[in-house]
Amino acid sequence: MNRKDVWRYKSLEQLENKRWEPATEHDSIVTKRCIALSKVPVIKLTASDLRVLIGQSFNPNYLVPLAIEKLKDDLFVEADLYPGDLLKNVLDVPPPFWEEHQELHQDMKQMIRSRAVEVASEIDLPGYWQS
């Protein structure tokens, strides 16, 4: 294992050095799921898990690279809702993230360009990606 990839075997709680309080009966299903997922090594997160966490604005520094790996295998992977739901949540990550992570930004632009017709017909592209 490459030393720079050690982070993949840690949970979001470990990576962020942040402990989430246990879920309560009053928490929503999404909140309960996110709390549970924050304790799982990020390498074990599924496309569905990534969609939920990214959609709930959990740390994109760790989650977006993993999501992009899944999107490279299948750009329109269905992560529980509809084909392309993971792609949509990744594209909804705010522009400052993409501006700070140019390599990931270029990867996404290349994937979108390579299937531009399908993307345009399947996904409502956020303004940041419409060029």
* 48-98 pLDDT tens trace: 999 999 999 999 999 999 999 999 999 999 988 899 999 999 999 999 999
Q: What is the pLDDT of residue 2?
A: 62
Q: What is the pLDDT of residue 131?
A: 65
Domain count, the chain: 1
What is the tens place of the pLDDT at every residue in 8-50?
999 999 999 988 888 888 989 999 999 999 999 999 999 999 9
**Domain assignment of residue 29, given as a range:** 3-129
Q: What is the pLDDT of residue 55?
A: 95
Report the alpha-carbon distance of residue 77 to residue 40 in Å, rounded: 21
pLDDT surpasses 60 at 112: yes
Q: How confident is the model at residue 118 (pLDDT cuts 50, 70, 90)?
A: confident
* CB-facing half-sphere around the CA of 45: CA atoms within 13 A: 33
Q: What is the 3-state secondary structure (H, E, C) of 3-15?
A: HHHHHHHCEHHHH
Torsions phi, psi of 81, nearest 5?
-105, -55
Q: What is the pLDDT of residue 130?
A: 75
Q: What is the pLDDT of residue 128?
A: 80
